[in-house]
Structure 1
Amino acid sequence: MPTVREIAQRAHVSIATVSRVLNGSPRVSDDARLAVMRAAQELGYSTDHRRSAPQVSRSVLVLTREQTSDDALPHQQAAGEFERRVWVGVHSALEQQGIAARLQKSSVSIEEAKQHARDIGVSGLVLLGGVRDAAFVKELQSLSIPFVIAGAHLRPIEVNCVMADVGQGIQQVMQHLIERGRRAIGFINGPNTTTTSAEKYEAYRLSLCTHDLPFDPQRLTTSEFSAESGYQRTDQLLEQCPDLDAIVFADDVIAFGGLRAIRERGLRIPDDIAVSGFGDYELAGFASPSLTSVHFDMTMMGVITARRLCMLFDDPDDYPWLIRVPTSLVIREST
């Protein structure tokens, strides 16, 4: 049996319009109703049962990445905090529109994408954080499933996404450190596989350039998003660059491990070396010392994501939007 999306494509209307017609909703123009019914018949979709069948409520699936045994506990906690805050924003915004939202783990497989396409009750998807598999996203696009990514972009693939202005955040913390007299600033970035890491790296280099500070590749390294990896990378960086007077971490979780490595070397924070993170997770205020971090409104990110998705239901755009949520620097004891 053809999918709702195939009917929508053939009738040149939105998926939401097809759902309303098949559910017998009066909130559809006669022309749209006729186009949908004709397309459904041409594709072999039976409409005889639609008056007696129960109506299918419009809903949105909010997909999160399935955890694996390799995920370190601190990373799970940080990822959980991001997902929880974004979920609150998505849920509240959709609820105002009378749309149900369901949180669901995703395997990001091709078959899963096809299952979503066959589900008449699913109007669209929100992809949180790590759910950014390129093959999965391309399959969603080919099936014309409305979706928005919250937390990162997927360039060079053009998709609708809402993310923090990570470049702005790195420049803010660099400006703060330089104003405090720091000149030998190291940088521990996230893994090269993430799209935000490239932007953070560019912002780090740009900040050095605009303040006439030299770029030393020895002061730069990458880490997985775990405290253990942050600990190891920080220890290695301090071994090869003992003159550092500040380290910028691309994520709070990485910084938590870095704080321990710095203390074990007998260095005082911030007297000997200043430390900053990114994300402003709840634990940042309880670290020892409390962690200066780049903050962005994750709940508002969820609201914006939901509003953009609702726009796509009734008026699909050919040109995807990249929406950036502004950042601010929360200064604490570590700088």
Structure 2
Amino acid sequence: MSITMKDIAAKLGVSESTVSRAINNKPGVGEDTKQKILNLARRYNYQPNLLARNLARQESNMIGLILPDISSLFYSEVTRAIQDIATKHGYQVMVCNTDSDEKRESAYIEWLQGNKIAGIIFLGNGLANNKIINLGLSGYPIVLANRLVEEVMLPSVIIDNNTGAFEATKHLLERGHKRIALINGPKDNLTAQNRFRGYREALKEYNLDYDPSLIINKDWSRECGYQGFLELLNLEEPPTAIFAANDLIAVGVIEAIKMGGYLIPEEIAVVGFEDTIVTSIIEPPLTTVAQPMYELGANSAKKLFSLIEDEDIEENIEILTSKLIVRKST
């Protein structure tokens, strides 16, 4: 048997506002009355009417998630975590895929606001634009997930790509490799820039000169890895190790290496980045930098619900660390 807040109030002879304060753990209710209300709510399995509550606040029980590419294994894992946390709070997630198109992103922002969405998570790898910054400054609940803003301190959760790339490159250097190639994403991509920076810092620590011919910038695809390796083979002195800036690139690299008849890791070592599900289908098992993808999504969602529920955020900017997982490809 279900019961409403009005029913509880009538049974106990108190006002609905008293029941509301007790259930939501707000001050102004005596302990004895509060316990009677909570006991009755538990007895009849009281479920709050989220729709009515949100309509009164002129909000829906939905949050928005704006991201550049839902087909990405990385973004899919982060999205899963956001949905899990949203479900626990009684919310649904409206996923908006932009294909990295700023005009499409702006249109989604306007649509979500117009439909009284309670808050928005911006998941991506670029800089936040002025529309996002102004939205955050207006007091509208937003959180940036793996996306940066330089002008103001908006609630953010980011992964330290720089250090992860440093550790991947250092791992290859410690195994005696001096000709280490980097097959990376686009030059203007913030994530690619940070991974390139970590790669260069590791070379510098080992007193090795940076060789631009060992850097391939394409995109984040399997084809990028395959074609990138073929280009590196044409060098007068090809690399003995390859740092693939994500796991899909690493899959392409390994396919090309095998097609060329080379042995992994005896002749060419390979390190990936992300530790997505594709690592389970690679042979040999891929050494990679594991990113806290689920943690990124979950922590971003928790921050957003703290904003929606007018709670304090303990850490406005949260930085997550990656971990090198050593397997047989190195």
TM-score class, shorter: 0.7 to 0.9
Question: Structure 1 residues 86 and 237 mapped into 2: Cα distance closer, same or farther (>3 Å)?
Answer: same
Distance (whole Å) between structure 2 residues aligned to residue 103 and residue 57 of structure 1:
11
Distance (whole Å) between structure 1 residues aligned to residue 179 and residue 151 of structure 2:
34
List aligned pairs for 1:186-335, cutoff 5 A. 186-240=181-235, 242-313=237-308, 314=310, 321-335=316-330
Compute the displacement of 1:141 (Å).
Answer: 3.9
2:167 alignment partner in structure 1 = 172
Are 2:82 and 1:90 equivalent residues in the alignment? yes
CA contact (8 A) 1:60 1:99 kept: no
Compute the displacement of 1:264 (Å).
Answer: 2.7
CA contact (8 A) 1:64 1:103 kept: no
CA contact (8 A) 1:64 1:131 kept: no
Question: Structure 1 residues 86 and 172 mapped into 2: Cα distance closer, same or farther (>3 Å)?
Answer: same
Compute the displacement of 1:180 (Å).
Answer: 1.4
Structure 1 gaps of 5+ residues are 1-24, 31-49, 68-75
Compute the displacement of 1:115 (Å).
Answer: 2.4
Compute the displacement of 1:268 (Å).
Answer: 1.5
Q: Say which is worse superposed, 86-95 or 297-306, in terms of deviation.
A: 86-95
Distance (whole Å) between structure 2 residues aligned to residue 139 and residue 287 of structure 1:
44
CA contact (8 A) 1:186 1:248 kept: yes
Compute the displacement of 1:207 (Å).
Answer: 0.4
2:92 alignment partner in structure 1 = 101
State the identity as a percent: 26
Structure 2 gaps of 5+ residues are 1-19, 29-51, 99-103
Question: Structure 1 residues 173 and 109 mapped into 2: Cα distance closer, same or farther (>3 Å)?
Answer: closer
Q: Say which is worse superposed, 245-254 or 158-167, in terms of deviation.
A: 158-167
Distance (whole Å) between structure 2 residues aligned to residue 279 and residue 66 of structure 1:
16
Distance (whole Å) between structure 1 residues aligned to residue 61 and residue 126 of structure 2:
22
Distance (whole Å) between structure 1 residues aligned to residue 175 and residue 69 of structure 2:
42
Compute the displacement of 1:325 (Å).
Answer: 1.4
Q: Say which is worse superposed, 133-142 or 251-260, in terms of deviation.
A: 133-142
CA contact (8 A) 1:126 1:150 kept: yes
CA contact (8 A) 1:219 1:241 kept: no
Distance (whole Å) between structure 2 residues aligned to residue 62 and residue 109 of structure 1:
11
Distance (whole Å) between structure 1 residues aligned to residue 143 and residue 301 of structure 2:
8
List aligned pairs for 1:142-181, cutoff 5 A. 144-155=139-150, 159-181=154-176
Deviations, residues 261-310 of structure 1 (Å, cap 9, x unaligned):
22233321111110011011111122122211110221111121012223
Are 2:118 and 1:115 equivalent residues in the alignment? no
Compute the displacement of 1:66 (Å).
Answer: 6.0
Are 2:55 and 1:64 equivalent residues in the alignment? no
1:22 alignment partner in structure 2 = none
SS in 1 for 2:63: strand
Distance (whole Å) between structure 1 residues aligned to residue 228 and residue 106 of structure 2:
36
Compute the displacement of 1:166 (Å).
Answer: 0.9
Compute the displacement of 1:54 (Å).
Answer: 6.6
Q: Say which is worse superposed, 244-253 or 262-271, in terms of deviation.
A: 262-271
Distance (whole Å) between structure 2 residues aligned to residue 162 and residue 221 of structure 1:
29
Compute the displacement of 1:112 (Å).
Answer: 2.8
Distance (whole Å) between structure 1 residues aligned to residue 170 and residue 69 of structure 2:
37
Distance (whole Å) between structure 2 residues aligned to residue 168 and residue 61 of structure 1:
30
Compute the displacement of 1:322 (Å).
Answer: 3.5
Report the RMSD for the aligned CA atoms in angstroms: 3.2
TM-score relative to the length of structure 2? 0.73
Deviations, residues 144-200 of structure 1 (Å, cap 9, x unaligned):
432222233355676433222111111211221122111211111211232111111
Question: Structure 1 residues 110 and 64 mapped into 2: Cα distance closer, same or farther (>3 Å)?
Answer: closer
Q: In the alignment, residue 104 of structure 1 is paired with which amino acid?
A: V
Are 2:120 and 1:129 equivalent residues in the alignment? no
SS in 2 for 1:123: coil
CA contact (8 A) 1:291 1:332 kept: yes
